[in-house]
Chains A and B, each alone.
Chain A
Amino acid sequence: AQSVTQPDIHITVSEGASLELRCNYSYGATPYLFWYVQSPGQGLQLLLKYFSGDTLVQGIKGFEAEFKRSQSSFNLRKPSVHWSDAAEYFCAVGPSGGYNKLIFGAGTRLAVHP
């Protein structure tokens, strides 16, 4: 069965520090992989997406992610975190079941210290 694991429930970094959020997936074929961000009280916004091609994907807000098939991972990175990056981050894999169904990880809450 398809699944997504985000091992870190909560991460705290200092403003200006680098960031890496981990995501591991289980999927039978070549997956679509997504990172979404949810700011407090808001809906989810897509940061970036991967399906094929260059395994290093650039997204919005200075984020990037690298697909590593051998490790079944799709980790999200940012070289220098801003206070406004504090939010909940969700990794997702799909599609599942023949439709555009996404399976989400449990999320990683990012706190940023000034």
Chain B
Amino acid sequence: DTAVSQTPKYLVTQMGNDKSIKCEQNLGHDTMYWYKQDSKKFLKIMFSYNNKELIINETVPNRFSPKSPDKAHLNLHINSLELGDSAVYFCASSPIGRGNEQFFGPGTRLTVL
């Protein structure tokens, strides 16, 4: 059973389009995250939700909008895609509490042409 799953695995699209990435976890965790990994493999947090409430919102363009319909799902919608949005996006989840292990999904490779 996949613990943290993301769809799609690959996403190729044109500049200016709007796209969504979906994430689901079946671990029963309260907290979910979105990370962006750039072409140099640098990994940076974008957002975190705890039980559907936004708790971390890094300096991310407002073209990025996370949505958590329930605590098992955290989707990422991106409007007006730009070339610089090309990256691998990882979803993760963890139990509530400081210092708990984060479990990562397999990633979604987004390529903007």
- Where the two chains meet, the residues of A that have a C-beta atom closer than 8 Å to any C-beta of B are 32, 34, 36, 38, 41-46, 49, 51, 88, 90, 94-95, 97, 99-102, 104, 106-107, 109
Chain A residues contacting B34 (CB-CB under 8 Å) are none
**Contact A44–B90 (Cβ < 8 Å):** yes
Q: A100 to nearest B CB, angstroms?
A: 6
Expressed in whole angstroms, the minimum distance between the Cβ of A99 and any Cβ of chain B is 5
CA distance A100 to B42 in the complex (A): 19
Residues in B with CB closer than 8 Å to A43 are 4, 90, 104-107
Among candidates A45, A94, A99, A101, residue contacting B104 with C-beta atoms closer than 8 Å: A45
Interface assignment of B87: CB less than 8 Å from any CB of chain A: no
Task: Indicate if B45 sits at the interface (CB-CB under 8 A).
Answer: yes
A100-B48 contact, Cβ under 8 Å, with A46-B101, A95-B99: yes
Query: Which residues in B have some Cβ–Cβ distance to A below 8 Å?
Result: 4, 31, 40-45, 48, 50, 55-56, 90, 92, 94, 96-107
- Which residue in chain A gives the minimum CB-CB distance to B102? A102
Q: Nearest A residue to B58 by beta-carbon distance? A: A101
Verify A101–B4 contact, CB threshold 8 A.
Answer: no
On whether the beta carbons of B42 and A107 are closer than 8 Å, the reply is yes
Name A104's contact: one of B4, B42, B48, B96 (CB within 8 Å).
Answer: B42
**B104 A44 Cβ-Cβ under 8 A:** yes
A100 contacts B31, C-beta separation under 8 Å: yes
Q: A44-B104, A106-B41 are in contact. Are A97 and B56 (CB under 8 A)?
A: yes
Q: Is the CB of A104 within 8 A of B44?
A: yes
Does the CB pair B48–A99 fall under 8 Å? yes
Of B4, B56, B105, most buried by chain A (CB within 10 Å of CB) is: B56
In the assembly, what is the distance between CA of A36 and CA of B55, in Å? 23
CB distance from A95 to the nearest CB of B (A): 5
* 20 A-B contact pairs sorted by A residue (CB < 8 Å): A38-B41, A43-B4, A44-B90, A46-B103, A90-B43, A94-B98, A95-B98, A97-B56, A99-B48, A100-B31, A100-B97, A100-B98, A100-B100, A100-B102, A101-B45, A104-B42, A104-B44, A106-B42, A107-B42, A109-B41
Find out whether the CB atom of B106 lies under 8 angstroms from the CB atom of A102: no
